Amino acid sequence: MRIYTIELVLLVVVTCGISCLAEVYTVGDKAGWSLSVDYSTWATGKTFKVGDSLVFNYGSSHTVAEVSSDDYDKCNVANTITSYTSSPTTIALNKTGTHYFVCGVMGHCSGGMKVSVPVTGDGGSGGTIPSPSGSDGSSSTKPTPTPSTGKVPASSATISPVVTVWWISLVSLVLMFVRA
């Protein structure tokens, strides 16, 4: 019985560690996703990492769209990467690089409802994390082709802390049931 207690404690500690690896950012803090927030100021000083999430809270007169850098600069929502219409919207930051978000309602982006989020690989392997489909069912994702160079980036040669924790949890769980 003592062995099971130790394994259970280990499993709880490891599982709790997963939540410590990622941050959840509410865009605009208490004001949410609205015309009254300076999102450049909001994003300044924050370090966004692969595995973190953004939560957009907004009213029915707003939307969230992820767009390219060029479309962000021009406030163009004709070629969105992903768009959402149901609040709250939680978006996982699955890959490094700058992600660009705008409100898709005419005039709102040019009125300041846009935010660019630079994502570093510090939260994981520097690559990508698979994204589950939207929980609200309102997202529409267009696949983005990724060119292949045939080389494996140095960052993907390491194991992400999230993957390590997942494997440790799995092994602990298997050991608990094998000994039962």
The pLDDT value given to residue 56 = 94
Give the count of beta carbons closer than 10 Å to the beta carbon of residue 75: 18
Q: What are phi and psi of 70, to 5 degrees?
A: -65, -45
Q: What is the pLDDT of residues 122-175, one digit of tens each?
A: 654 444 444 444 444 444 444 444 343 333 333 333 444 555 666 677 777 777
23-145 carries CATH number 2.40.50.140: no
pLDDT in tens, 29-65: 899 999 999 999 999 989 889 988 999 999 999 999 9
Q: pLDDT for 15-26, tens place per residue?
A: 555 545 678 899
Q: Please give the Cα distance from 61 to 59 (Å, whole number).
A: 5
Report the candidate in 50, 53, 49, 55 with the shortest Cα–Cα distance to residue 28. 55
pLDDT score for 131: 45
Report pLDDT for 107.
Answer: 93
User: Domain coordinates of the chain in residue numbers?
Assistant: 23-145
Average pLDDT over residues 77-99: 91
Cα-based angle 129, 133, 138 (whole degrees, multiple of 5): 140
Q: Percent of the chain scored above 90 by pLDDT? A: 44
Joined together, the tokens standing for residue 10 give 């280990």
Question: Alpha-carbon distance 170 to 2, whole Å?
Answer: 20
